[in-house]
Structure 1
Amino acid sequence: MDEKYIFGLVGIVLGSLLSAIFAVVRDLYTENRAKKKEAEYLAIRMICIFDFFMEGCASVVGDDGLYHGQTDAEGYSRIQVTPPQLDVQLDDVNWKSFPPELMYEILYFPNLIKDAESYISSTFENAASPPDYSEGFEERQYQYSNLGIMASELTTKLREKYKIPKSHIYSWDIVEYMNNEKDKIDQLRLKREAAHKTMFATVNA
């Protein structure tokens, strides 16, 4: 077989192979770039949704059942702040652009809210006493401080992963406020538990 023919054939094969490899690399690059853009867009949407939810949580944490420091006309404490809603079921985004663990954390969050509401309802029904229902409001403040803090942690993950700057529109630190309120309740519960143990020890002595 003619040597020139062999070299020509090899050249054709190599050229076709290189063209195919280039096409695959180009398609992968285009796909990855599009997926990155979709992930960034989804991250921005989620940050906005969870930031709004976090603001609502802070409002609930500040609700002690009083309106301008006063009970209602009958002397009862009443819920003043409606709990924030969280809707993450978006149909116009590509959820597969997110890593599975991040997608799960976001989509599972509504279940955490349901669990918190269950604790709150149970406390109001079984432990809280009128007219102030202090146990119920305490549990409500505690659960929503937890939810707000977790929402903040999630938005921090999204901002760091997709390099989205933090907004500076707040004149106060919402997360610090919720952490402080949660710590106050934790300390109160520890003192309450210690007092109960002391009382039971005295009774059983």
Structure 2
Amino acid sequence: METAIFGLIGVVVGAFLTIIKEWWFKAKEKEKNAEYLAILITSMLERFVVGCAEVVADDGLYHGQLNSQGERETHTVPPTFDPLSIQVEWKALPANLMNDLLSFPLEIESARTQIDGALEFVSSPPDYEEFFEERQYQYALLGLRASKLSAQLRAHVRLPSRQGGGHSPVSYMQTQLEEIDRRRAEHAKAHALAIASLETGIKMGK
């Protein structure tokens, strides 16, 4: 009887240890998959950040000069981010982080739609001022968003963070974004004052 009991205990313990062993191997495999994914995707994101900074720096001039038609034109090719172009195990990531990364291309498309709208409906030659400002603004936002996603992915797998200096692409884009926001706030204020002045003149003329 005791032999049977000890035998049963041995079977139970053996099965339990087998389950623990399988769980441990699966957890290690998931961890390795996540690390591999993070290395590849953060590299893509960080190249995207640099590309965004180049777009933000593009004011449509070449060495300070207009083109041969006397107009401003783009001199940088916008960066792309296609996370599904590489084979990685996306299920190794938490759902929220995976969703943020895989939906980022949709954010890029939305930004491009905004830029196209500024070119088609708002700006005009020769300066295309509104187009270039919107292009710089949207790519600054995208670059900062990509940098944040990269940092989140690195933190998840405990990869060292990138050390950005005072002249990093991220700090440059943040500065440019704040400058555009400041200009837009000033323009909005001036427009509101002009409208108020016009309304006051109309009332006084009645």
TM-score of Structure 1 vs Structure 2, range by shorter chain: over 0.9
* Residues 102-135 of structure 1: CA deviation (Å, up to 9, x unaligned): 1100000000000000000000110001101010
Correspondence for 1:29 = 24
* Residues 8-53 of structure 1: CA deviation (Å, up to 9, x unaligned): 0001100000000000000000000010010011011110000000
SS in 2 for 1:131: coil
Correspondence for 1:133 = 128
- TM-score, scaled relative to structure 2: 0.94
Correspondence for 1:3 = none
User: What is the aligned counterpart of 1:181 among 157, 168, 176?
Assistant: 176
Unmatched runs of 5 consecutive residues or more in structure 1? 1-5
User: What is the aligned counterpart of 1:88 among 67, 83, 86?
Assistant: 83
CA root-mean-square deviation: 1.3
Correspondence for 2:193 = 198
Q: For the Cα contact (< 8 Å) 2:155–2:161, is it kept in 1?
A: no
Give how far 1:167 is off.
3.9
Is residue 41 of structure 1 aligned with residue 36 of structure 2? yes
Structure 1 residue runs of 4 or more that deviate by more than 6 Å after TM superposition: none
- Equivalent-residue separation in structure 2 for 1:21 and 1:43 (angstroms): 33
User: What is the aligned counterpart of 2:48 among 36, 39, 53?
Assistant: 53
Is residue 10 of structure 1 aligned with residue 5 of structure 2? yes
User: What is the aligned counterpart of 2:57 among 57, 62, 86?
Assistant: 62
Q: For the Cα contact (< 8 Å) 2:31–2:92, is it kept in 1?
A: yes
Give how far 1:85 is off.
1.1
- Equivalent-residue separation in structure 2 for 1:128 and 1:90 (angstroms): 35
Correspondence for 2:203 = none
SS in 2 for 1:129: coil
Give how far 1:144 is off.
0.1
Q: For the Cα contact (< 8 Å) 2:33–2:92, is it kept in 1?
A: yes
Q: How much identity, in percent, do the aligned residues show?
A: 36
Is residue 146 of structure 1 aligned with residue 117 of structure 2? no
- Equivalent-residue separation in structure 2 for 1:20 and 1:166 (angstroms): 41
Q: Which moved more, 1:85-94 or 1:40-49?
A: 85-94
Correspondence for 2:204 = none
Give how far 1:168 is off.
4.8
Following superposition of structure 1 onto structure 2, how do residues 93-104 of structure 1 map, counting pairs within 5 Å?
Answer: 93-104=88-99
- TM-score, scaled relative to structure 1: 0.95
* Residues 133-167 of structure 1: CA deviation (Å, up to 9, x unaligned): 01000000000000000001111111212111134
